[in-house]
Structure 1
Amino acid sequence: MSTESHPRQKVAIVTDSAIGLGPALSTRLRSGGGFVSISLPLMVGDQIFTEEDDPSLKERLVIASAEGRRMTTSRPSPGAFAAAYESLASEGYEHIVSIHLSSELSGTVDAARASARGAKASVSVIDSRTVAMAQGMAVVAALDVARSGGSPAEVEAAAGEAARCARLLFYVPTLDALARSGRIPKSLAMVGQMFQIQPIATVQKGRLKYVERPRQEAAAVKRLGELVVADARQALAEDEASRGEDGRVVVAIQDFYGSALANRLADLVTLELGSRAIVVRSEVPPVLAIHAGLGPVSAVCEPAGLVPELSSTSS
């Protein structure tokens, strides 16, 4: 009886700009083929912009924020997904794993599913239930398995495990932008301003959740550092449990005009964990900065064995 195995499907990855990979890493991932990131539209007043079409978008958002203009985000059109799926199918990819930010925060997953039904290649749409580089870790893990010849099920499993293991924390220096975008009640922002609350938050089960609400910037910054180091140690312990002495942790730090705090976090992680910590830097993507305002900083800790593509990346 023949034991010849079935040929592996060629698998591609699609994601969205809510991950904020940064130019260098994005270029590196695209260079291997089978990877597309779709820009999420942003609205400033009644004008629509995307990062892809407007290189000066970051500066535009800063000016709009200073002017107090209304800013919001929108899901990509089904046509944007259809074009991406069509392009990958024409390149010979038989299956596409499409990984997106939490459906609790955006309708992007719904747009992807609508387009998946008419795609020439088979498409699996994954709701990462998270955002920023926590979502990015899922994307990087999936892409590595796909390029290693993994099956669609193996690629999906890698994405799911990386998303579950990613520990996300972010610091928002003011609640004003969250209130303007409707993410929190305006009354809560007023109370926050009154008591100088500097929240530390995460995304849990797809939704924004406050971890702690320190008062005063100094206390918040100190506490954020403690929490990030604790998360990094836990992720390192998990990696050591699976890989022994080779265990390491990837710590992805993102900021939007909050580089002083981001630098401080990076230095602290390196001081505490030395070469066992791989620090990756990029910006908080504009589609998230719209809701968080100026100065937000996020940190994501992930066992390095789950994201080998990042294990050789440092800042």
Structure 2
Amino acid sequence: MRSIAIVTDSSAALPADFFAEATVSGGLAQVDLPVSIAGQPLEGLSSAEIDAAIVTAHVQGEQVTTSGASPGELIEVYERLASEGYAGIISIHLSGALSGTCDAARVAADLVQLPVAVIDSENLAMALGQVVINLYRFTENTDDLETAVEVAEDLCAAVKLFFFIPTLDALKRGGRVAPALAMVAQMFQIRPVATVLDGKLIYLERPRTTPKAIERLTELTLDFSAEQAKGSHRFAAGVPAPTGRVVAVHYCGNLLQAQEFQRSLGEPAEDAELLPLPPVLSAHSGLGALAAVVY
């Protein structure tokens, strides 16, 4: 039996088949990050129903908001894993610059008996999910928590997310961007292409049309893919080295566009998972978002 459990959050966009496999095998827990529309929490709904509700809210211009996990929720998860016999936990979450979940995890870690190492992935979506997948598989064969933490940090540094959002309206409604900035973007028809650097959203390009934005997103993704394929990373035994593959393509209400984007990336994206952005992220991206994750 594995001795180290992994805890993450629903921003990780974990593929359904992996999540099902890990649920059966044990040693993985995920806390949900709540989403509300016009102040009403989306509770008791399936993932498909939540996705549909968020798409509808964006179409109708309703405010979609999110919140992080609470220390109490995380304490419950940590204590449950301790009762199941795990000797240590790595609790790894979306960027602390974008959510208070890491802070909540640190508070919770101080209030339980077993050792909990909290890691800020400084990323989100499958850029976090890919780390979780590789870390989960690595910890199946080790009981060394310190080494596992080092591996997690190396994995976080090796994965990259690039994304495009067609408008800042959803970010403005959710309070994640200043209204003045959103207005300027609308006036000049800016279609931001961005990445995550040191946990923060960094705009790399500001194209004026969607085709140009997707073209730049494609170029940036393939440039990083080629650089990653050179194999500069050296990891512990049992950890798959980065190869520059596009491991995931994300979308929000634009599946056909995402499929075309995946085709445009060519061979590096042939095996990529095609995944909707998780609700806690699509709440802020708005309709038409595209993202690529390279490892």
- TM-score, scaled relative to structure 1: 0.85
Shift of 1:248: 3.7
Shift of 1:44: 1.4
Question: Is residue 240 of structure 2 the alignment partner of residue 260 of structure 1?
Answer: no
Shift of 1:193: 1.6
RMSD in angstroms over aligned alpha carbons?
2.2
| Residue number among 90, 104, 109 corresponding to 2:83 in the alignment | 90
The percent of aligned pairs where both chains have the same amino acid is 36
Distance 1:20 1:75 in 2: 15
Label 1:31 to 1:73 Cα distance change in 2 as closer, same or farther (>3 A).
same
User: What one-letter code is carried by the residue in structure 2 that aligns with 1:125?
Assistant: V
Label 1:36 to 1:188 Cα distance change in 2 as closer, same or farther (>3 A).
same
Distance 1:96 1:256 in 2: 32
Q: Which residue of 2 aligns with 1:286?
A: 279
Shift of 1:9: 8.0
1:162-311 matches, cutoff 5 A: 162-238=155-231, 248-251=243-246, 252-271=248-267, 273=268, 278-302=271-295
Distance 2:234 2:102 in 1: 34
Number of aligned positions between the proteins: 288
Helix, strand or coil at the partner of 2:26? coil
Question: Is residue 45 of structure 2 the alignment partner of residue 54 of structure 1?
Answer: yes
The runs of 5 or more residues in structure 2 that have no matched partner are: none
User: What one-letter code is carried by the residue in structure 1 that aligns with 2:193?
Assistant: I
Helix, strand or coil at the partner of 1:237? coil
Distance 2:134 2:140 in 1: 10
User: What one-letter code is carried by the residue in structure 1 that aligns with 2:197?
Assistant: Q
| Residue number among 11, 25, 34 corresponding to 1:41 in the alignment | 34
Q: Which residue of 2 aligns with 1:154?
A: 147
Helix, strand or coil at the partner of 1:43? strand
The runs of 5 or more residues in structure 1 that have no matched partner are: 1-7, 303-315
Question: Is residue 8 of structure 2 the alignment partner of residue 15 of structure 1?
Answer: yes
Q: Which residue of 1 aligns with 2:106?
A: 113
Distance 1:225 1:24 in 2: 27
Question: Is residue 61 of structure 2 the alignment partner of residue 68 of structure 1?
Answer: yes
Which of the two has higher C-alpha Rg? Answer: 1
Question: Could you list the per-position Cα deviations for residues 213-263 of structure 1 after superposition, in whole angstroms to 9, with x for gaps in the alignment?
Answer: 1111111111111111112112222279889xx984331111111223321
Distance 1:92 1:241 in 2: 32
Helix, strand or coil at the partner of 2:266? helix
Q: Which residue of 1 aligns with 2:20?
A: 27
| Residue number among 131, 141, 154 corresponding to 2:134 in the alignment | 141
Kept in 2, the 8 Å contact 1:40–1:287? The answer is yes
- TM-score, scaled relative to structure 2: 0.90
